[in-house]
Amino acid sequence: MSDDTPVWFISGCSTGFGRELARLVLEQGQRAVITARGRDRIADLAAIAPDRALALDLDVTDQGQINAAVEAAETHFGRIDILVNNAGYGYQSSVEEGEEPRIRAQFDANVFGLFALTRAVLPIMRRQKSGHVINITSVGGLIGFASSGYYSATKHAIEGWSDALKLEVSPLGIQVTCVEPGPFRTDWAGRSLEQTQSHIPDYAETAAKRMADTSGYSGAQPGDPVRAAQTMIDIALKPDAPRHLVLGKFGYEAVTKRMTERLAEIEGLRAVSLAADFPEDEA
**pLDDT per position as a tens digit, 85-129:** 999 999 999 999 999 999 999 999 999 999 999 999 999 999 999
Dump pLDDT digits (tens) for 13-42: 998 899 999 999 999 999 999 999 999 999
> Residue 177 — pLDDT band, cuts 50, 70, 90?
very high
For residue 28, the domain's CATH number is: 3.40.50.720
- For 45, the domain range is 7-252
In a domain, 38, yes or no: yes
In a domain, 115, yes or no: yes
Do 155 and 106 touch, CB atoms closer than 8 A? no
In a domain, 61, yes or no: yes
Do 37 and 18 touch, CB atoms closer than 8 A? no
Burial of 212 (0-12, 13-18, 19+ CB in 10 A): middle
In a domain, 2, yes or no: no
pLDDT of residue 4: 83
Dump pLDDT digits (tens) for 54-70: 999 999 999 999 999 99
pLDDT of residue 282: 74
Dump pLDDT digits (tens) for 214-256: 766 666 676 688 999 999 999 998 999 999 999 999 999 999 9
Name the residue among 224, 219, 218 with its Cα closest to residue 251: 224
In a domain, 239, yes or no: yes
In a domain, 261, yes or no: no
3-state class percentages of the chain: helix first, strand second, coil last, to nearest 5: 50, 15, 30
> Residue 182 — pLDDT band, cuts 50, 70, 90?
confident
> Residue 1 — pLDDT band, cuts 50, 70, 90?
very low
Which strand (E) or helix (H) includes residue 175? strand 174-181
Annotated catalytic residues are: 151
- Rounded mean pLDDT of 252-273? 97
Position 188 pLDDT exceeds 60: no
In a domain, 36, yes or no: yes
In a domain, 276, yes or no: no
Position 3 pLDDT exceeds 80: no
The whole-model pTM stands at: 0.94
